[in-house]
Amino acid sequence: MSITKLKFLRLIGACTLAGLTTGAAAGPKHDLYMCVLLSGQGQVMGGRPPALSGVYRSTDRLTAEHVGFGHIRMFTVIADPRAADGLYLTALNGVVHSPDRGKTWHILTGWDMTEPKGIALDPHAPDHIYAGLPDGIAMSRDRGQTWQRMNAGIRRSYTHTITVDRTQAGRVLAGTELGIFLTEDGARTWRLVQATDDVTYDLRQSPHDPKAFLAVTASDGALWSADAGRTWRRIEGVPTTHTLHNGDFDPADARRLVLCGWEAGVQVSEDGGRTWSDRTAGLPNRQVWSVAVDPDQPARLYAAPYLQPVYVSDDFGRTWRPLFFEKATVYGISFVARP
Amino acid sequence: MNPAAATMKHFRLTFFAAFYFAALTAQAQPSFTAPAPTPTVVEDAANRRAAYAARVQEVVTWRAGLAKPGDPATLGIAEIAAKLSLRQDAEVCSAQLIELLKTPAGDMFWMFPVTAVSYLGRDQLTPAAKTAVREAWRTYMPLRGDTENHWAMYYTSLYLMAQLWPGEAGDRWFNGKSSQENFTEARDYLIHWMTLATTIGQGEYDCTHYIGEYSIPMLYLATWAADPAMQQRGHMMLDYVMADYVAETLNGIYVGSHARTDDTTVREKWNGLASFFGWLMLGNCPPTAAYGGWGTYFAIVAKNYELPEVIYRMGTDRAGTYTHFERKRTRHRWRYSEVRNPPVYKTTYVTKDYAVGSDQGGLLQPIQQHSWDVTWAVPDPRGVHNTIFSTQPYFGPRELMMYFTEMPDFMPAAVTFQGKPTYISEAKLLGGSPYEQIFQQDDTVVSLSDVPAGTNFEQVNGFFSKDLARLEEDASGWIFAQGGHAYLAYRPLAGYDWQPIDGGGQRLRSPHGKNGTLVQAAAESEFKSWEEFKAAIRALPLELKLAPTPAVKFTTLRGKKIECVYGAAPRVDGRAIDYAKQWKLFSGPYLNAEVGSGRLTMTHGKLKRVLDFNTLTITDAVMP
């Protein structure tokens, strides 16, 4: 794409943003964070990366700035509710905290906890952090200063995703290799609420209905719970033959959901999950690693096809245009409320 | 590829290799270009030590000499380390180090070279250079990696640098942890790893390259750890790693099964970093090009280590044929396994002419596993493919998901861009398979495979070297071959054809899911003639079955009746093999250790050394 064309697209994007944002001068209420690998398929640990991977932040939805250190494996960024500028990050090196929006970083976990993927804080006890590890679940009750293993009873405990029920302290759902587990006592005990053949890769609680949860899996498609994760049913119309990577609710519209996966492309529902449409047309491939709904701009979707730019859609996936990067693998897209 | 294209490719490779080696040898690596050493036993300890010191000096001098005066581009971290080791050009090294530290990269592979330079340069580097090093460790966050060799390098470096800069707060370190926190974490990891390795076996075991990534950190601990206990641990683990390696060498070449090797070394067995250690420690093989690359980082402080005589003699002074047994463990399994590190059971049979080594088959390590081979002795191993083996070529996301925490679908193709180009090829010669079961009795190997329909790939690949002296397809179904002074009888269980291999040799392609390989090795000297060997093999009782599952009943050349049925425990002379009960951590004439003991006994003749990690003691004895 030529520079002139790129500038034109950015100008269009800026105009769109200005038009969509209430009180345009204030800008979005959230910062967009992306955990990105920019070195392509050949990058190995110990090599000199040809591009700067790591966490990128966009405050204006037009440009993305690199934040912190340049690692090739970072997974998700969430807010630290105890500090206005605080962030938690899961990365290959562990659970990492920044007190200053990414200027400095502190690894919270030790040698015995590697490659956490999922992370969640308990809104009723913001000092409590749960982390999903390849060998189980870790919990900290002191903002990451100390950690305990808390996956007793979970057999084959690979845990990729973890989410805290915002309605009840200590109520947590974990997506593991063999299914979805639930604790109601702060991870002291777990029970399997939904068996799966393979890994559950994402778990989300609806922002509209706290009893509604969405899960996406490696081989069981997408699952839905209407009773706060106690029971689950398979969502019809969603591919089950491919690995689904993640899903999201539109915070502005309870009817809208999105999910994505490898060869599954982007799938959306605009009727609360009853029916689903393929909205991959316009993306360069169907190997979509991550999707997210912008909390500040209704109907705005981001999708990250494998080794491609991050694309944006302002009509919930009907049309797409490239926005960030040229050749990215995006492990996670998240939004953090601006301080 | 048509023959003309193949010829051109071979020509290009040969030309490139010649050019590459010519460029390196222009920098005078005497032992790399000299005639291969004749394996000898240096009896006199002082002479042995002097020869070792001369080899160390050769490496360091060569590396330091790569730096050209006035050309900073030729002065990398390795050259700086070599020069500081020789106490040369500290000012120039300091200035260039400052430049290099402006763009740090390489993660744990950056950490240990910079650690070495920091320690070697404590009384040589300029204050500005020391400040640059300190600042780099504040601002550059290395990846800690995802496997044990990464963690050995990462935590050894972190331990030593936290020791170098004690009492500093978290804001002085890349990871936000204080010197004390880093020191404690690194120490705890290192002790944890040493305990695992010495009780249930090393993971990433017996690698033809990664032996360096363990031995170099251990040497650094032995050299620079201020805590006498950690210094002792480093020394003992270095003995341990060296003994583990030497017991499975043939003239310095690492033989048999490896957790990790690569597409080159799997054929040219000498051409791995391990052979650098064979040359350096045993003096019985040539070093690899550029002293294995990482060899420099060992050599710069190698004067602080001396291979114990008992290990030296294990590698150079063998009374005769022996069988060596080991128990190792798999890489960490994150998914699809009830056990984090299932055991690996190894058998290695070594004669003066050849060695036969194997594991039990299965997926024990992703991508680069090598499960069995026969390696024969050659006077000069450079460029020689002195091995024969077969593999069940398998790949898939399940293997990768088991051992990595990545998402599944992109990985098989991505791996081929990460230095493992053959991973998804049906012609691959590298890698384990969940559908392969291997059993070895003495110098007989039976490998059976039962690959489900539709799996990549329903096939067995046999490697037949360009350097075989004989190769005959016999009407009996046996394929007879000779490599060096080893006679080889190879029996494919199913039909096959021959495919050329880039770089020479042929691949026996047997495109059947129910399949297997039976190999019997022997020494040329056991027979009056080649014909007599073939007749002896033909006369051995043999029953082969492919359905319902592959099975072999065979009476070996050594008179053992072995029965192998895919999915069942092998039987020898009617008794079932129980790996869990029979395989110790080490057992054989030279190394012995019980599972869980943390105690390794090395013996050679009257010499005995015991490494006891429970008490951190080394006990040497000369037996009556």
| pLDDT of amino acid B276 | 98
CB contact (8 A) between residue B409 and residue A73:
no
Best CA proximity match to A156, nearest among A195, A106, A204 = A195
Please answer whether residues B508 and B498 qualify as being in contact, where contact means their C-beta atoms are separated by less than 8 angstroms. yes
A111 near B185, Cβ under 8 Å? Answer: yes
pLDDT digits (tens, 9 = 90+) for B423-447: 999 999 999 999 999 999 999 999 9
Is residue A164 a contact partner of residue A185, using CB atoms and an 8 Å limit? Answer: no
In the prediction, which pLDDT does A116 show?
Answer: 98
Q: How many other CB atoms are found less than 10 A from the CB of residue A82?
A: 11
Q: Please answer yes or no on whether B340 and A92 come within 8 Å at the CB atom.
A: no
Tell me if the bond preceding A295 is cis, omega within 30° of 0: no
Neighbours of B10 (CB within 10 A): 14
Indicate the residue of B151, B185, B409 with minimum beta-carbon distance to A243. B409
Check whether the bond before B548 is cis (ω within 30° of 0): yes
When computed from its CA atoms, the radius of gyration of chain B, rounded to whole angstroms, is 25
Per-residue confidence (pLDDT) for residue A26, from 0 to 100: 63
* pLDDT of B340: 95
Asked if B175's CB is within 8 angstroms of A105's CB, the reply is: yes
> Residues A12-16: what's their mean pLDDT?
36
Q: What is the pLDDT of residues B64-117, one digit of tens each?
A: 999 999 999 999 999 999 999 999 999 999 999 999 999 999 999 999 999 999
**CA–CA separation, A82 and A122 (whole Å):** 12
- Mean per-residue pLDDT, B36-58: 96
Q: Which two tokens stand for residue B73?
A: 């581009």
Rounded to the nearest angstrom, the minimum Cα separation between A138 and chain B is 15
Structure tokens at B21: 């080696």
* Average confidence score pLDDT of chain B: 95
Chain A residues with CB-CB distance to B140 below 8 A: 69
Confidence of residue B571 (pLDDT cuts 50, 70, 90): very high
What is the pLDDT confidence band of residue A339, given thresholds at 50, 70 and 90?
confident
Residues of A with CB below 8 A from B171's CB? 104
Tokens for B300?
A: 């710069």
Q: How confident is the model at residue B278 (pLDDT cuts 50, 70, 90)?
A: very high
Q: What is the pLDDT of residue A142?
A: 98
Token digits for A29? 């209420």
pLDDT of residue A63: 97
% of chain A with per-residue pLDDT over 90: 87
Residue of A39, A76, A93 best to disrupt the B interface, most CBs of B under 10 A = A93
Domains of chain A by start residue, with CATH:
3-337 (2.130.10.10)
How do residues B158-215 score in pLDDT, each as one tens digit? Answer: 999 999 999 999 999 999 999 999 999 999 999 999 999 999 999 999 999 999 999 9
Q: Are B245 and B591 in contact (CB under 8 A)?
A: no
Q: Is the pLDDT of residue A333 over 80?
A: yes
Structure tokens of A232?
Answer: 């689950």
> Is A40's CB within 8 Å of B334's CB?
no
CA gap B600, B584 in Å, rounded: 11
pLDDT tens per residue, range B337-360:
999 999 999 999 999 999 999 999
> B37 falls in which pLDDT band (50, 70, 90)?
very high
Shortest CA distance from A197: residue in chain B:
B336
User: Any idea where the domains of chain B sit in the sequence?
Assistant: 35-316, 330-574
The interaxial angle of helices B90-100 and B77-85, nearest 10 deg, is 160
pLDDT, position B16: 39
| Gap from A160 CA to chain B (nearest CA, Å) | 9
A contacts of B143 (beta carbons < 8 Å):
45-46, 71-73, 92-93
Please state the rounded mean pLDDT for residues B278-289.
Answer: 98
Whole-model pTM? Answer: 0.94
What pLDDT sits at residue B27?
66
- Selected from 1.10.287, 1.20.1050, 2.60.40, 1.50.10, the CATH number assigned to the domain covering B35-316 reads 1.50.10
Candidate from B107, B155, B176 with C-beta closest to A104: B176
Amino acid letter, B579: Y
DSSP string, B469-488: SEEEE-TTS-EEEEETTEEE
